[in-house]
Structure 1
Amino acid sequence: MKTITSLAALVLGATLASTAIAQDETSENAQPTDEEVELKEDQTVMPSGHDITPSEMMDGRWYNEEGVPTFKVEEDGTVDYATFSGFRRYHAECHVCHGPDGEGSTYAPALKNSVLRMDYYDYQEIVASGKQEVSNSANQVMPAFGTNKNVWCYVDDIYVYLLARGTDSIPRGRPPKKADKPDEFTTAEDSCMSM
């Protein structure tokens, strides 16, 4: 009887150990939940792998070294114009479902957290084509906005606004100070809206 009990204990111990290892391996590949996304002060690389350090301005918008849009907030709290534009466009088109200031709602996720762990190109694909997740426990449907110029012409502005909110670089509400609208921004905006 002792041999069987000892053997059972060994098998149980080995099973528990292999389960723990498998869970550790799985959790390494899993994306963090909204609650798990906590950034350290001065952190510039997001869980998505994108660095949010502004490197170059093109067409009136800031980009990082990889050409991914980002935001810039001056020491006095002045936000770049694209981030301010993103605030305006988000609250005109997105907040009805996703809540004010990217905070989420009872039926749509907090986008200020989603953009931190989501690849920029995946974000664009979801905004352009929409997303549908239907199961027994949830029915989440986001419409496609690729043909809505009020969203698509400002898709990068909305993205950088949400990044700034997700990193707590700007507080909730309308940014109190904004940079002047660059001429290049106006040119790009006019070109997109006239297509």
Structure 2
Amino acid sequence: MPSGHDITPSEMMDGRWYNEEGIPTFKIEDDGTVDYATFSGFRRYHAECHVCHGPDGEGSTYAPALKKSVLRMDYYDFQEIVASGKQEVSNSANQVMPAFGTNKNVWCYIDDIYVYLLARGTDSIPRGRPAKKAEKSDDFIAQEDSCMSM
């Protein structure tokens, strides 16, 4: 379990699944169908994050494997780093992640990216595009439209 959080889906709100604590999580049906937010997270991750962090959250030579990082930090730390960026300087490296808090293609889908990486980090979904996805709900569409039009 990432940072001691339960990843069991408990409640759906705005087309996304949350655990008992109100933290975004994923839901995968017995036939392998992923919830739409997890599929959306796959798409957004590969549009915005994989250039540095590698395909499927696997990492690269200069950026960490986010599928592992989300298991070591809590949801709010993940949000803070994505929104504000991060810099780590040492004698051997200078790693800089830019802030994405004003990038709507990231920030409007931050929960989706998070749950996709959780699903990858817990080996709940394999590498590559999810083979089956749930339908995009009206609630998901409304929340997406609201965020993107701000």
TM-score with structure 1 setting the length? 0.76
How far did 1:138 drift?
A: 1.2
Runs of 5+ in structure 1 lacking a partner? 1-45
Give the aligned CA root-mean-square deviation in angstroms.
0.5
Find runs of 4+ consecutive structure 1 residues off by over 2 angstroms: none
Residue 140 of structure 2 aligns to a residue whose secondary structure is helix
How far did 1:106 drift?
A: 0.4
TM-score with structure 2 setting the length? 0.99
How far did 1:113 drift?
A: 0.5
Query: 2:117 and 2:5 mapped to 1: Cα distance?
Result: 14
Matched residues, number: 150
Runs of 5+ in structure 2 lacking a partner? none
Residue 34 of structure 2 aligns to a residue whose secondary structure is coil
Q: Which has the higher helix share?
A: 1
On the 8 A contact 2:57/2:117 being kept in 1, the answer is yes
Query: 1:65 and 1:84 mapped to 2: Cα distance?
Result: 22
Larger RCO of the pair (alpha carbons < 8 Å, separation 6+): 2
Residue identity over aligned pairs, in percent, reads 91
How far did 1:48 drift?
A: 0.5
Assess, with a 3 A threshold, how the Cα gap between structure 1 residues 59 and 47 changes in structure 2: closer, same or farther: closer
Query: 1:72 and 1:114 mapped to 2: Cα distance?
Result: 20
Please tell me whether Structure 1 or Structure 2 has the larger radius of gyration of its CA atoms.
Answer: 1
Residue 62 of structure 1 aligns to a residue whose secondary structure is strand
On the 8 A contact 2:2/2:70 being kept in 1, the answer is no
- C-alpha distance after superposition, 1:64-106 (max 9, x if no partner): 0000000000010000000000000000000000000000000
How far did 1:135 drift?
A: 1.4
**Superposition pairs of residues 43-192 of structure 1, within 5 angstroms:** 46-192=1-147
